[in-house]
């Protein structure tokens, strides 16, 4: 019985595959081609990443109009109290009053004086309502944790100080109101009446 198992050729016998050799010139071309291919892959990766981070395209004009109509149907597009009316205004004013009476005045009210008037009926002064509401909106935003550690400081510097300086100025909206705690007073100052041009008949 003959042995049919394959035999491993001896080294140098010439029966095995020859090693593959690349000339130096071809090796340089191969390296250059590989580098170009890698650069192209990286460039495509940057493009794909940029496309993934871009915002959605602006919808056509018809869709934008539909969105505005839906927003108007849902209610006012502004959270500012002067943009509200009826029951919405009353609800917002009640919430504002809670904030003014339980947080703003106890902490930042300071004493009433001739140089710092105040009015217990501030909610009847449109300018006071507008300024206090804007101050409250800023307080909600800048005291939230997302505002960061400097949020409250920013609120004091950019919003509180400015609002109180205007509200309690001697010529501010409370100029004809209480200037002494012992003499409460409330009066709405007249504002310039709008002038309407007479229409020729």
Domain segments of the chain: what residues? 24-51, 83-167
Tens-place pLDDT, residues 178-188: 999 899 999 99
- The pLDDT value recorded for residue 96 is 95
Q: Helix 126-142 and helix 86-99: axis angle, to 10°?
A: 70
pTM above 0.75, yes or no: no
Percentage of the residues of the chain whose pLDDT score is greater than 90: 51
**116-129 mean pLDDT:** 96
Tens-place pLDDT, residues 73-106: 555 578 898 998 889 999 999 999 999 999 999 9
Tens-place pLDDT, residues 33-50: 767 767 676 766 666 666
Poorest-confidence range of 55-69, 156-170, 176-190? 55-69
Question: Which residues have a Cβ under 8 Å from the Cβ of 131 and sit 6 or more positions away?
Answer: 163, 166, 167, 173
Looking at per-residue pLDDT, the higher value among 132 and 50 belongs to 132
Work out the number of other CB atoms within 10 angstroms of the CB of residue 51.
8
Q: Evaluate if residue 143 carries a pLDDT over 90.
A: yes
**113-117 mean pLDDT:** 94
């Amino acid at each position: 019985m003959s042995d049919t198992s394959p035999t491993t050729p001896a080294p140098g016998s010439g029966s095995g595959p020859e090693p593959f050799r690349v000339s130096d010139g071809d090796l340089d071309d191969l390296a250059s081609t590989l580098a170009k291919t890698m650069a192209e892959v990286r460039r495509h990766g940057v493009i794909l990443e940029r496309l993934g981070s871009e915002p959605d395209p602006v919808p056509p004009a018809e869709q934008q109009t539909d969105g505005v109509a839906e927003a108007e149907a849902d209610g006012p597009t502004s959270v500012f109290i002067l943009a509200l009316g009826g029951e919405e205004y009353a609800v917002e004013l009640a919430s504002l009053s809670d904030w003014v009476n339980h947080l703003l005045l106890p902490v930042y009210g300071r004493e009433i004086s001739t140089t710092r008037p105040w009015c217990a009926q501030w909610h009847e002064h449109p300018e006071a309502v507008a300024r206090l509401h804007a101050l409250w909106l800023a307080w909600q935003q800048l005291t939230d944790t997302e505002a960061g550690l400097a949020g409250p400081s920013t609120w004091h510097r950019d919003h509180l100080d400015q609002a109180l300086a205007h509200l309690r100025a001697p010529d501010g909206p409370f100029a004809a109101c209480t200037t002494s705690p012992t003499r409460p007073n409330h009066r709405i100052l007249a504002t310039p009446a709008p002038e309407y041009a007479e229409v020729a008949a």
